[in-house]
Amino acid sequence: MRIGFLLVSLAVTAMAQPANTASELASLREDVRELRQRIGELTLTVEQLNRENSALQSKASQSYATIEQLNKAVADLNRAVQGDLSEQKREILAQVATQLVTMGKQTNAALEALAKNQATRPAVQTSFSEDFPKQGVNYTVQAGDTLSAIAQKNGAKMQDIVNANKLSDPTKIRPGQTLFIPLGK
């Protein structure tokens, strides 16, 4: 449309100046030819841009997920995670239950062993005799000491040590405890 207008304008101008008409007409034809060439180039560029735009649109529709698809994928992942967590909880609870049963059996066995040992222990002494030598030495119980070993080391009678220290249970001496060891009569 513009080219037509330009041609008409040029023609009107050419009629107004008949002297240079031939050279101006040649110049005008050259301008029109250049304009047509430029329009052809622009048309090719527009066509190329349209092709690229179409390619990008088709690529975009293939590589992007919709919000609905993303929500569905997130929901599927949540279900999978919840299933895995439930399975792990079941496994852990089963392991804990097994360990509790084992610990219960071990505790019962230990209690039974203690009960058997209590039955074989001698009765606890509650009255003590004053019939022991009043002269002796003090002895500090060491780790691993027994009353019979202490008596043997010091040449004393075990019963005299029990009476002198009023030990109701001679098996319960402890390291660091100080005992009076009566010596000879």
Instruction: Decide if pLDDT at 5 tops 70.
Output: no
Q: What tens digit of pLDDT does each residue of 116-151 get?
A: 776 665 666 678 888 888 899 999 999 999 999 999
Distance, CA of 132 to chain centre: 69
> What is the secondary structure of 24-64 as a DSSP string?
HHHHHHHHHHHHHHHHHHHHHHHHHHHHHHHHHHHHHHHH-
Q: Fold for 136-182, please state it.
A: Membrane-bound Lytic Murein Transglycosylase D; Chain A (3.10.350)
What tokens were used for 150? 């202490």
Calculate ∠ Cα 37-38-41, nearest 5°: 90
Q: In this predicted structure, what is the pLDDT of residue 9? A: 66
- pLDDT for position 23: 85
SS3 assignment, position 126: coil
Q: Confirm if 7 and 32 have CB atoms less than 8 A apart.
A: yes
Q: Tell whether the model's pLDDT for residue 182 goes beyond 80.
A: yes
C-alpha angle with apex 10: 8 to 14, nearest 5 degrees? 115
Q: Is residue 4 predicted with pLDDT exceeding 90?
A: no
Residue with tokens 């203690």: 114
Residue 1 has pLDDT above 90, yes or no: no
* pLDDT tens-digit series, residues 46-85: 999 999 999 888 877 666 678 888 999 999 999 999 999 9
Mean pLDDT over the full length of the chain: 85
Residue 175: what pLDDT? 94
Give residue 58's pLDDT: 80
pLDDT band at 91 (very low <50, low <70, confident <90, very high): very high
Both tokens assigned to 31: 């301008």
Torsions phi, psi for 133 (to 5 deg): -60, 140
- 92-105 burial by CB neighbour count: b if 16+ within 10 A, else e? eeeeeeeeeeeeee
6-45: per-residue pLDDT in tens? Answer: 556 656 665 555 557 888 888 888 999 999 999 999 999 9
184 near 136, Cβ under 8 Å?
A: no
SS3 content of the chain, % helix, strand, coil (to 5): 70, 5, 25
Higher pLDDT, 145 or 4: 145
Cα dist from 71 to 65, 67, 68, 79, 146, whole Å = 10, 6, 5, 12, 76
Residue spans of beta strands (DSSP E) within 39-155: 136-140
